[in-house]
Amino acid sequence: MSTSKLAILGGIPVRDTKLNPWPKWPVWDQHEADALLQVLHSGIWSYNGPFETEFNHRFSEYIGCKHTISCVNGTVTLQLILEALGIGWGDEVIVPGLTWQATAAAVIDVNATPVLVDVLESNWCIDPQQIEAAITPRTRAIIPVHLYGSFANMDRILELARKHQLFVIEDCAHKHGGEWNGQKAGSIGIAGSFSFQLSKILTSGEGGAITTNDHQLAEKLDALRNCGRRPEHSLNDQADKGAGQYEDEGNFIQSGNYRITEFQAAILLEGLQRLPSQNEKRDKNGIYLNKLLSELNGIQPMYRDPKETKESYFNFAFRYEQEHFRDLPVSIFRKALEAELGVQVDSCYTPLNQCDLYQPHTKPSRHHLNDQYWEKINPENYSLPICEKIFHQNAICFHHKILMGDQSEMDLIATAIGKIYEQADVLSECEIE
Ligand SMILES: Cc1ncc(COP(=O)(O)O)c(C=O)c1O
């Protein structure tokens, strides 16, 4: 391994990003430009147009479910699913403590109580044992998040859900195309929630979608995302035509506008065509890189359950163990790695009991139903020791674009880590901001 001076101390980086830039994200070409122009010229710019209809159909086919309902983003999708399932005031919903704030904020937005539970150290996804311990007579649903390049243990979660008659809502914001035991994320629970925000592996800048096999739920969701209008036509599964028929309420319900535009749908259709091969490449590189990482001192790759038959990566993550690196804090290791590779190296999401962007108490006029509720939603009342350890000591995350290069690029990542390991003593003696 190289023993040249560390890049963070002025040495030559392992990777010359001027000569050899990282793959760019988002990926697009003339196909997107043509599709956007086609929408422009058609004058059909709003919702329920031909591109959206086609996208809903193709995405259902890809995920292996009966219905896709496109929405404005992957936060509202969670909120609408909860609302469509009749979850609200007095209900509890179990969510992992290590996720983007939207997973819990959506629960707050339907006036239910997000119950934060800890994650597994091995893969950073919700810990089934902690779920079981958190179930009360008020629990209505579990929202597992398939975080970064990991899968929540769906076998255990479904078993618990059956035993306690709970809904399982999959937060698939990171998992477009990932498979558990041959079944795609978003087709395993009652509904799946997807985000198409710019950094995601299928993107239209902003956007989201809900997947489900439940026709009545799909009809309700379609109305909820469209100002309460009931769907005029059967949704994208013709086989279910005529089912549903609004047994719960009348023809209209109260809601808002959470629709996407034809411009977004046109971009998504192009991205969807590329997604399977991009996922395949990321999965192959991920397996290769994890093998390299497993051979390095002080680095723990994420655990991959044998049931994860296809992995999809929003981020590529691994665990750093500072005791093997002369007690070099993880924040300095991330900076040193960034300097060697010329790419952003992040931590993971901030645990929700410490997260600046998860502040339910700042909406007192909307949510202050009574003191007991106020107390139950207080993030500080939740203990999440594993989430905190991961965040403060272990987390190393790269955007998925680093898995879109050649195998030789994966070698360079391992080389850079090895270089820092060899010179951890030098680095630990320097003052680095
Ligand atoms: C796990 C998770 N859930 C939900 C969301 C919300 O998606 P959006 O940004 O499309 O609202 C995100 C976004 O990063 C996410 O990471």
Q: pLDDT tens digits, residue range 365-383?
A: 888 888 999 999 999 999 9
Query: What pLDDT sits at residue 55?
Result: 98
Would you state the pLDDT for residue 430?
A: 83
What percent of the chain clears pLDDT 70, i.e. is strictly above it? 95
Query: Are residues 365 and 374 in contact, defined by beta-carbon separation less than 8 angstroms?
Result: no
Question: Helices marked H in 355-394 — which ranges?
Answer: 364-367, 371-377, 385-389
Q: Which of 1-10, 75-84, 104-113, 371-380 is predicted with the least confidence, judged by mean pLDDT?
A: 1-10
How deeply is 393 buried, as exposed, middle or buried, from its count of CB atoms within 10 A (0-12, 13-18, 19+)? middle
**Per-residue pLDDT tens digits for 16-36:** 998 889 999 999 999 999 999
- Which pLDDT band holds residue 295 (cuts at 50, 70, 90)? very high
- Please give the C-alpha separations between residue 113 and each of 110, 146, 159, 278, 332, in angstroms, as whole numbers: 9, 21, 22, 38, 37
| Distance of alpha carbon 336 from alpha carbon 114, whole angstroms | 37
Reference 172, options 200, 195, 138; nearest CA is: 195
For residue 75, the ligand 1 atom closest to its alpha carbon is 11
Residue 382 Cα to ligand 1 middle (Å):
22
Cα–ligand 1 centroid distance for 173 (angstroms)? 5
> For a substitution probing ligand 1, which of 70, 73, 75 has the most ligand atoms within 8 Å of its CB?
75
What is the signed CA dihedral for 107, 109, 112, 117, rounded to 10 degrees?
A: 30
Q: Distance between CA atoms of 221 and 193, rounded to whole angstroms?
A: 12
- Span from the CA of 177 to the centroid of ligand 1 (angstroms): 16
Q: Has residue 418 got a pLDDT over 60?
A: yes
Burial class (CB in 10 A: 0-12, 13-18, 19+), 165: exposed
Angle (CA) 339 345 349, round 5°: 155
pLDDT in tens, 89-106: 999 999 999 999 999 999
Cα 71 to averaged position of ligand 1 atoms, centre (Å): 13
**What average pLDDT does range 47-68 have in this prediction?**
97
Q: State which ligand 1 atom lies nearest to the alpha carbon of 145.
A: 1
Strand-pairing partners, residue 141, are 93, 167
Q: Is the pLDDT of residue 289 over 70?
A: yes
Q: Give the fold, CATH level 3, of 30-269.
A: Aspartate Aminotransferase; domain 2 (3.40.640)
**d(CA 97, ligand 1 centre) in Å:** 14
* CA 96 to ligand 1 center in whole angstroms: 14
Continuous segment of H or E residues that includes residue 210: strand 208-212
Q: Residue 232: its pLDDT value, please?
A: 65
Q: What is the mean pLDDT of residues 314-331?
A: 97
Side chain identity at residue 34, one-letter code? D
Q: What is the pLDDT of residue 2?
A: 47
Q: To test ligand 1's pocket by mutation, which of 100, 124, 352, 397 has the most ligand atoms within 8 angstroms of CB?
A: 100
* Residues 261-280 pLDDT 10s: 999 999 999 999 999 999 99
Rounded to two decimals, the pTM is 0.95
What is the CB < 6 Å shell around ligand 1?
73-75, 99-100, 102-103, 145, 171, 173-174, 195, 197, 208
Nearest CA to ligand 1 atom 7: 74
d(CA 366, CA 390): 33
**pLDDT digits 0-9 by tens, 214-256:** 999 999 999 999 999 987 644 544 344 444 455 556 678 899 9
Query: Given this model, what pLDDT does residue 233 score?
Result: 47
> How is 25-79 classified by DSSP, letter by letter?
SS---HHHHHHHHHHHHH---SSS-HHHHHHHHHHHHHHT-SEEEEES-TTHHHH
pLDDT class of 119 with cuts at 50, 70, 90: very high
Q: What pLDDT is attached to residue 236?
A: 47
* Domain coordinates in residue numbering, the chain: 30-269
> Would you state the structure tokens that stand for residue 404, as one six-digit string?
């879109």
What 8-state DSSP symbol labels residue 226?
B
How large is the average pLDDT for residues 378-407? Answer: 97
For the segment 343-355, what is each residue's pLDDT rounded down to a tens digit? 999 999 999 999 9
Tell me how far the alpha carbon of residue 207 lies from the centroid of ligand 1, in angstroms. 10
Q: pLDDT value at position 347?
A: 98
